[in-house]
Structure 1
Amino acid sequence: MSENWDALIRGENCPVCDLISSGKSEDDHGIAVADLSFSRLFLAKNQYVQGYCVLMCHRHVIEPYELTADERTKYFNDLALVGQGLEKAFMADKLNYNILGNLIPHLHTHILPRYFTDDAPNRPIDPGMKGREVYLSPEGYQERIELIRSHLGNSL
C-alpha cells in the first residue's frame, strides 16, 4: 500500500488526474456536469442522496493549502457556486462538504444536499454504505445534470 500511496501522492497513475486530463465525461463513479474555473463537477452515479456531487480540482494537490492563493480562491469560489446551485436545485435544508482524500489523494470535495427528512438528519450521512445505492436511468441522470446546470447560471 505504501508504494502505491506514495506514487498517488506524487500524482502517478492518479485516477482523478487521468479522468480530468482524458476529457472523459464519465467513469465508474460519476458523470461530468460542468467545467468551472479551477475544477470539474461530477454527479455521483449513486444518488442515494439526491443531488450528491463531487467537485474535483484541476491540479493535482492533496490539500487546499498546496494551492496558490489564486488557485485556492478559484477552487473555493467554484465550491460556493456549486453549493448554492445544488441547494436551489434540490431545495436542500443544508449542505455537507466533505474533503477527504483517504482513498485517492487528490483534492476533491463531496457535496451532499441534506434534508431534515433524510435517514440521518442530525449526523453525517454515508451514501457509500451497503444498502444505500440508488442508480438512475440514463434519462434520470441527464435530467439531474440539466437541473444542476440550470442552477449554476452563467458560470458555465
Structure 2
Amino acid sequence: MIAPFPNWPADFVQRMDGRACACGSAPAPGDSDDRIRVYAGRVSDAYLMRHAAQRGYAVVAWKNGHAAEPADLAPGDADRYGREVLLVGTAVQRHFAALKINYLTLGNQTPHLHTNVVARYTDDVAPGALLDPVGAALPEEQWRADAAELRALLAPGSALVRHWDE
C-alpha cells in the first residue's frame, strides 16, 4: 500500500481513527518499569514517567475510548479532560516546586489523546527552549517517592481534587 501522505507512516490515518491506535482504546492503566499511574480520573489516567530529561514529567491520557484530538470529544468531556490535565499540572507544579509547567497535546507520533505535563525549573536543563521530555531513566527510589507524593496530592477527596471538581 502506498501511504496517502508520503511523509507520514503508512497507517497514520488508521492510527488517527482508532483502527491502528497503539494504545488500543486507551493506555493500560497499570504501572510498568517506566511509568507509575498517579491519578485515575473520570476521563483520564495520569502517569509519572521514569524516562525524562528532568524530574516532573507526567502524561495524562484519555481513557474513555479512542479520541485523537480534544475536539473529537463532546463538549462536557473536553471540559472534564481539560480540568483533569490542569489538576495534574497543578500537582506536578506543587510537588516539584516548578517555575513553569508546559502542557503539550501533540499526537503526531501517538495519535491517541494525551497531554504531556512537563515541569520547568529555575535551573532547567534547557531554559527557554522546548524540552524533549524523554531522557535517561531517573533513579528508581526518587521516581517512586515522587509518584507516592503525587498520588497523595491527587487522591480522591484531596483539597486539590475538590478544587478542580467544583
What is the aligned counterpart of 1:74 among 73, 80, 97?
A: 80
Instruction: Tell me which moved more, 69-78 or 41-50.
Output: 41-50
| Alignment match, 1:146 | 148
Q: Which has the higher helix share?
A: 1
Alignment TM-score, normalising by the size of structure 2? 0.80
Deviations 1:97-139 (A, max 9, x none): 11111111111000101012112211221133xxx413322x3
What is the aligned counterpart of 2:23 among 12, 16, 24?
A: 16
Q: Distance in 1 between matches of 2:116 and 2:147?
A: 16
**Pair 29,105 (structure 1): closer, same or farther in 2 beyond 3 Å:** farther
Alignment TM-score, normalising by the size of structure 1? 0.84
Q: Distance in 2 between matches of 1:135 and 1:119?
A: 14
Q: Distance in 1 between matches of 2:147 and 2:14?
A: 33
Instruction: Tell me which moved more, 3-12 or 58-67.
Output: 3-12
Aligned residues with identical type, % of pairs: 27
AA in 1 matched with 2:23 = V
Q: Distance in 1 between matches of 2:122 and 2:29?
A: 37
Runs of 4+, deviation exceeding 4 Å: none
Larger radius of gyration: 2
Q: Give the gaps of 5 or more residues in structure 2.
A: 1-7
